[in-house]
Amino acid sequence: MSRSAIVVSGSRPTGRQHLGNYWGALRNWVSLMNEYQCYYFLADWHMLTTGYEDTGKLQENIRETVLDWLAAGLDPKMCVLFKQSDVPEHAELAVLLGMVTPLSWLENNPTWKEQLQELAKTKLSKAAQQGKKGATAVKEAPDKERIDASLRTFGFLGYPVLQAADILIYKAQGVPVGQDQLPHLELSREIARRFNSLYGDVFPEPQPILTQTPKLPGIDGRKMSKSCGNTVDMYETPESLENKVMALYTDPKKLRADTPGHPDPGPENPPGCVVYALHKLYNSDWETAGVKCRAGQLGCVADKKDLLEILGKPFADFRAERQRYGADPKMVEQILEEGARKAKAVAAETMRQVRRAMRLT
Ligand code: TRP
């Protein structure tokens, strides 16, 4: 891609960002910002596709997300940083793209099918827990059908159409995403192709820019995610960081310091050692830690203490930046306003072309 290439990516404003967000997306966004014309946005409408029932924390989460992005190095002078719902042209394009998107493309979207199942499971177990905690114990059994129906909305099924609009409205050539987003990006390309073949060439086909980092495991060894409650956040205090690092999942077969361990994931130890995963990201000499562990010369507690020491500086640096940005109560608002203005200018021009191409004007 040339220097003038347009790059677009978004992320749902989940609030405090964790290391999975950082290594999976943010870090890549920061480095692309120096090379291309980048548009990065908070996908607050996408947040609603599954979170429409509880929007009480949305504004707070947007602010937390932006502050973490800034502290991680996103520079609003080097990219256009904005909130999706501040640029309603995304919605207009989504409506029009919806006209040319066959339902079967959406129903066969593997991400939708998987998420539907996963979210239903999470919601069901939350409902069960709340039932247990309630004073009157299990008043009504968690209603699997009700939960499933609440997730089967037009908006959630149409998630990739809105995502295609987000990307195509800036005529993006590159879209930095994780592996899990590839089916969505493929749909964006198909929708662009369909549109172009019906109304003439308006949209380039966006290509993925894949993040190199493998999926980061959370404290318990499963994929790190807020809904699993297993995150290491970017904004941990020294105390909370220590608690979390000391609780990281390690090879259960390594019972004592002198037992040879298997820090890497493998058939014998499927989730892999989370301490080792973090060494790989933060410790330039990560191989030595693995060699010593495998040789039975390094115990898990000592290994965690080494890791904690290595994490000290990057976490302290981040905290300082985060506090600096957080001290200005107006800054986030101003950055988002300015970003929306810039994004809107481009989005409005694309919409003029789209309306003309479709003979709406
Ligand atoms: N689906 C993306 C995610 O869950 C968020 C997103 C919305 C996005 N619109 C986008 C990503 C456009 C890239 C481009 O992370």
The radius of gyration of the chain's CA atoms, rounded to the nearest angstrom, is 22
Distance from Cα 343 to the centre of ligand 1, integer Å: 16
Paired strand residues for 310: none
Q: Which residue has the tokens 């198909």?
A: 190
Q: Is 63 in the pocket of ligand 1 (CB under 6 A)?
A: no
Phi-psi region of 172 (alpha: psi -120 to 50; beta: other; left: phi over 0): beta
Q: Does ligand 1 come within 6 angstroms of the Cβ of 166? A: yes
pLDDT of the residue at 179: 86
Tell me if 212 is assigned to some domain. yes
CA of 120 to the centre of ligand 1 (A): 21
Secondary structure E strands in the chain: 6-11, 37-42, 79-83, 174-177, 207-210
Are residues 44 and 177 both part of a single domain? yes
Where residue 286 sits, what CATH number does that domain have?
Answer: 1.10.240.10
Is residue 1 assigned to a domain? no
Which residue of 166, 203, 227 sits with most ligand 1 atoms within 8 Å of its CB, as the best mutation to test the pocket? 166
pLDDT at residue 135 in the model: 46
Beta strands in 22-69 (DSSP E): 37-42
* Domain range for 119: 6-216+329-357
Q: Count of CB atoms within 10 A of residue 202's CB?
A: 16
Answer yes or no: is the C-beta of 49 below 6 A from any ligand 1 atom: no
Indicate whether 65 and 160 sit together in one domain.
yes
Verify that 284 and 345 share a domain, yes or no.
Answer: no
Report which ligand 1 atom has the smallest distance to the Cα of 159: 1
Query: Is the CB of 65 within 6 Å of ligand 1?
Result: no
Say if ligand 1 is within 6 A of residue 177 CB. Answer: yes
- Please indicate whether residue 163, judged by its CB atom, sits closer than 6 Å to ligand 1: yes
Residue with tokens 């003979």: 359
Q: How remote is the CA of residue 308 from the centroid of ligand 1, in Å? A: 32
Question: For the chain, which residues score pLDDT lower than 70?
Answer: 131-142, 265-271
Give residue 203's pLDDT: 98
Rounded to two decimals, the pTM is 0.92
Q: What is the pLDDT of residue 148?
A: 86
Q: Is the CB of 225 under 6 A from ligand 1?
A: no
Q: Could you tell me if the CB of 9 is within 6 A of ligand 1?
A: yes
Angle between helices 238-246 and 300-326 (to 10 degrees): 150
Examine the domain organization and report whether 31 and 114 are in the same domain.
Answer: yes
The answer to whether residue 226 is domain-embedded is no
Same-domain status, 28 and 165: yes
My answer on whether 317 and 334 are in the same domain is no
Counting the structural domains of the chain, the total is 2
**pLDDT at res. 137:** 46
Nearest CA to ligand 1 atom 8: 10
* CATH code, 205: 3.40.50.620
For residues 19 and 216, is the Cβ–Cβ distance under 8 A? Answer: yes
Same domain assignment for residues 123 and 72: yes
45 shares its domain with 184: yes
Domain identity same for 271 and 246: yes
227 is a domain residue: no
Same domain membership, residue 346 and residue 283? no
Ligand 1 in reach of 175 Cβ (< 6 A): yes
pLDDT at 1: 81
Q: Ligand 1 within 6 A of 172 CB? A: no
Query: Per the domain annotation, does 353 fall within a domain?
Result: yes
Is 88 inside a domain boundary?
yes
Whether ligand 1 lies within 6 angstroms of the CB of 50 is answered as: no
Contact 221, 271 (CB under 8 A): yes
| 206 secondary structure, DSSP code | P
Distance CA 71, CA 336 (A): 15
Helices (H), 134-181: 144-151, 154-157, 159-168
Å from CA of 41 to ligand 1 middle? 9
Residue 127 has phi, psi (to 5 degrees) of -60, -40
- Together in a domain, 316 and 333: no
In sequence order, which ranges of 283-357 are alpha helices (DSSP H)? 286-294, 300-326, 331-357
Closest C-alpha to ligand 1, atom 9: 163
**Per-residue pLDDT tens digits for 263-291:** 776 655 556 899 999 999 999 998 999 99
Assess if residue 51 is contained within a domain.
yes
Same domain, 193 and 103: yes
231, part of any domain: no
Report the pLDDT value the prediction gives residue 132, as an integer from 0 to 100.
60
Q: Write the residue with the smallest CA distance to atom 11 of ligand 1.
A: 10
